[in-house]
């Protein structure tokens, strides 16, 4: 069993829909990261959170430490949101290593 599980693996949505991507983890963590990867490879960090909720534009990330679960929400989705969304957990120590989920491929159709 993977230490970081994402669902769904693939998601197709219509423009304007509200989207939720889920991440569950089984290890103790210091922080949870949400990353975005567009076709072509480049990965950018969207959020890092260790409690509660963060919002940036149309993106919202939440985490429930007790349940070891995080969600990434996209409101009013747009075709430019089409990408792979990756959940990763940092598990402490001085080295800042992360454990990654396998990603959720999101396609938003116009």
Partner 1 sequence: DVKVTQSSRYLVKRTGEKVFLECVQDMDHENMFWYRQDPGLGLRLIYFSYDVKMKEKGDIPEGYSVSREKKERFSLILESASTNQTSMYLCASSLSSGGRRTQYFGPGTRLLVL
The residues binding partner 1 (CB under 8 A) are 29-31, 33, 40-45, 48, 50, 86, 88-98, 100-103
Give every CB contact of residue 78 below 8 A, 6+ residues apart in sequence: 15, 58, 108
Q: How far is the CB of 29 from partner 1 (least distance, A)?
A: 7
Q: How far is the CB of 80 from partner 1 (least distance, A)?
A: 19
- Nearest CA to 29 out of 102, 101, 88, 95 is that of 88
Nearer to partner 1, 77 or 101 (CB): 101
């Amino acid at each position: 069993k993977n230490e970081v599980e994402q669902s769904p693996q693939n998601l197709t949505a219509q423009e304007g829909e509200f989207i939720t991507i889920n991440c569950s983890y089984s290890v103790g963590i210091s922080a949870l990261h949400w990353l975005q990867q567009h076709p072509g490879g480049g990965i950018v960090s969207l959020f890092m959170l260790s409690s509660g909720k963060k919002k940036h534009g149309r993106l919202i990330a939440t985490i429930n430490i007790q349940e070891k679960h995080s969600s990434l929400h996209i409101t009013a989705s747009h075709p430019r949101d089409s990408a792979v969304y990756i959940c990763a957990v940092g598990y402490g120590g001085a080295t800042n290593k992360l454990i990654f989920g396998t990603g959720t491929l999101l396609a938003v159709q116009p």
